[in-house]
Structure 1
Amino acid sequence: MSAVVVLRLPLSTDLSGFVGLLRRLKVPHRVSEEQGSQVLWVPDERLAHDIRDLYQRYPEGNAQVDPELMARHAPVRGPGFVQQLKASPATAAVLLACLVVAGLTLLGENLGNMRWLTFLDFQVQGEYLYFTPLADTLASGQWWRLFTPMLIHFGLLHLAMNALWYWELGRRIEALQGRINLLGLTLSFSLVSNVVQYLVSGPSLFGGLSGVLYGLLGHCWLYQWLAPNPIYRLPRGVLVMMLVWLGLCLSGLVSVLGFGEIANGAHVGGLLIGCATGLIGGLLARRKSR
């Protein structure tokens, strides 16, 4: 998450020998091509200092890998879970809110508590739910309902999957663009995905972070495409998997297989607004780097 630039060299410089040395030393690293240069990244500033020193001594990577050298440049252990929490307070706060709501609503079973957070208020009469019209909801000042459905989850698997993806994507955005931007994007994606879902499905129960997640995915995708950086660089398989899953949901196959009703409107709305913010952010970052 906190990748550090070690070297920025012309494309004509042969780094293959030095990269081979790093592999023999088992040093975590990555080489990328950016703006006509090749860039060597490592995950830690302390390690970066040693690698720069190593390059000064062995630019062609012809050093003998002796035990002392191996010990000095051994891979740095990544930060522990507590350190990650401290480094990503906004991400952790959103997930904590989801956990609290999951407890209060019993993962969607406690309708009495859940009705305070749904997009529309409702009354239970027998086996039916009667929803308050949106105009009446907003006229009564209940504007929080435009955002709070993202905190509601229906079942442990629903919560676990969304929490894992928000932890992965949220920390990336918080690391690169800051906690305020992450919270702003989260609320914006929640608003758009909830409104789109309402327009598609009408008065109904829906919730979860999945619309926000598709927004975060689209944001990282377009931002990274326009302004390449190691933090937003997602494995290609992740993007393909998420888009394939979206396609399966839109086809109706997922519901037929017994996964329940899917908030397709929220997914598509979140992805589109996320691509829009990623496009804007990427263009601004690209212009700033010139």
Structure 2
Amino acid sequence: MVKPRDLDPTASPLDYYGSELRRLREAASLSQAELGSCVFVTASLVGQVETTKRVPTRDFSERVDAALGTDGHFSRLAGLVLRSQLPTWFQPFAEMEARASYLSTYQAQLVYGLLQTEEYARAVLATGVPNRLDDLVAARMERQRVLGRERPPLLLVILDQAVLCRPVGGRKVMRDQLAHLLNCADRRWVSLQILPYEAGEHAGLVGSFTALRFDDDPEVVYTEDLISGHMTANLEIVREAARRYANLQAAALPEGKSAELISRVMEERYGDQAESAQLGVA
């Protein structure tokens, strides 16, 4: 059992979650072991969450709500806690992304975060801060809950063909990721286009960017450099981003042809036949 320590609930969302878990567990006259038994985890894990040594998952939070009868209290806190695990410079964008009614993005290197599978995200994030890998993966998956809302944002995505061909995480991870893209593309509010190599020089050579539109706030454009991300509502930049995105849409394959290319790459590069051919050469 983790030794209790004083928490300052105002220090961070994680500290607030831990203090609330301890307070409401004790109010229910449950030990850490007893609560752990109710939610199918160890007493040690409950103690680690209470002392901010572990970040609670959404599944854990939902089971705690059921066990303590807290009417979704911890489930609501989970989103705040998980978002707080994102890099500090990225958190403002994640908050804006969650409020946007319209997202349009061009990605030159990687699948857009909202469309990544868990294993693809894990492989990507492992290149950065692997000691916090589980927390970062959970935070990225939490971002994707916006797509499950009753009224999800309209999502327009253009991926460079290089994204499909870069074997992030290995053959199986990529096969599953491309299959996931095809499933996402079937959703009525998602538009997915691939910018083929044949497009040559294009308006996205300066790099990836994302535009966010809102019902009641000015449009924002987001870009990243090596160190951090940048958001701006500068009208000239917003207009330039819109112009470049329109040019990219025109140069990209139509949605149907894009799906065909994704399917072809999935089979030719990551399918069973490709694996057998590679083994034969070896």
Same fold (TM over 0.5): no
Q: So what's the TM-score if we normalise by structure 2?
A: 0.24
User: Which structure has the larger Rg over C-alpha atoms?
Assistant: 1
Q: So what's the TM-score if we normalise by structure 1?
A: 0.24
